[in-house]
């Protein structure tokens, strides 16, 4: 799950990425935030390291389901969480 909060001119206020349950992903899309002049976009995905991009509009603030290639092993939820946390660390380093 990736949550992107940004101001009207596209200036990023915060990006939060975390592992989420399927139920947490029912609110994907973009909507006005409670802070005036801010928008919040939420995206979710299934797969390894699939939430690298930051959602910015209705085109990429979606629930993307990905299937493993034939013959590959299915990874565990723990593996998804570790890769998601690595992606979060990368985003934090870029924003600094």
Looking at the DSSP bridge assignments, the partners of residue 18 are none
The per-residue pLDDT string of the chain (96 residues; one tens digit each, 9 = 90 and over) reads: 999 999 978 899 999 999 988 899 999 999 999 888 999 999 999 877 788 899 999 999 999 886 655 555 544 444 445 445 445 444 444 554
The domain of 58 spans: 2-95
Backbone φ, ψ for residue 84 (5° rounding) = -65, -40
- Provide the domain count of the chain: 1
Are 16 and 68 in contact by the 8 Å Cβ rule? The answer is: no
Q: Please, how many CA atoms are within 13 Å of residue 51, restricted to the half-sphere of its CB?
A: 32
pTM of the model: 0.66
């Amino acid at each position: 799950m990736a949550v992107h909060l940004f101001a009207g001119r596209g200036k990023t206020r915060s990006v939060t990425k975390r592992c989420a349950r399927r139920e947490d992903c029912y609110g994907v899309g973009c909507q006005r935030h409670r802070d005036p002049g801010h928008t919040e976009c939420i995206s979710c995905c299934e797969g390894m390291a699939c939430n690298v991009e930051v959602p910015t509009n209705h085109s990429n603030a979606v629930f993307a389901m990905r299937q493993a290639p034939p013959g590959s092993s299915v990874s565990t939820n723990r593996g998804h969480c570790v890769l998601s946390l690595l992606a979060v660390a990368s985003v934090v380093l870029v924003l600094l």
